Each structure stands twice: as C-alpha cells, then as structure tokens.
Amino acid sequence: MGGNSFIKGRVKHHEKIITKASVFIKFNAKEFPGADTTKYDAKVRVDAVGNYLIKCYKGDYFLYAFGFDYGIDPPYYVKGGLSAHLRNNETTELDLGVTE
C-alpha cells in the first residue's frame, strides 16, 4: 500500500451496489490466490455507497471482495475477484462484480 497509483471502483451484484463489503488485495498477483483471506496482503472496506479506493505502487494485483446483498430475502453472501495491472501515476477504475 502506498505509491502514487490508485485502483478505485464499486462492488456490485448484478449492477446493485454492495455496501459494507470488504476488498482484499494480493500484491504481485495476476491469478486468484483463493478465498482464504489470510493469504492476502491488505484489506479495505467499501464506503456507504459501495466505493473502494486503494493507493498502491505500479504492478500487478488481485482483488477479492465479499459482502451481503441485503436486497434479497434472505440476504445472499456474494463474492468475486479480478486482477489489475497498474503503471506509475495511473488511476484505474474497476467495478468489482460479485455473485452468489
């Protein structure tokens, strides 16, 4: 964490914003390291409208998010991930899609 590049976006389930989600970050990774969140290097929480922001150095990252879709009864546990590649002084906007 740190640097002068940013990854930002929203956590979404079928275009619905997921609030109170957690986004885990794996440094120097292009592929899914698994659902075990202890294998990740950092974590951020989304804000009240589903936004996340990660300040980082150039390189490869894998993001994994999970949360609950409270608009469905009962609330569904949703999760998903994606990879990101950043250059120096770059801001990349990536909406992170999650599913059941």
Select from 35, 3, 6 the least CA-distant residue to 22.
35
Phi, psi of 38, rounded to the nearest 5 degrees: -70, -15
Q: What is the pTM of this model?
A: 0.91
Of the pLDDT bands very low, low, confident and very high (cuts 50, 70, 90), residue 1 is confident
For 74-98, the pLDDT digits (tens) are 888 999 999 999 999 999 999 999 9
pLDDT at residue 2 in the model: 84
pLDDT at residue 96 in the model: 94
Average confidence (pLDDT) over 53-64: 95
For residue 37, the 8-state DSSP code is G
Q: From residue 29, give the alpha-carbon distance in Å to each of 39, 50, 77, 78.
A: 11, 24, 25, 22
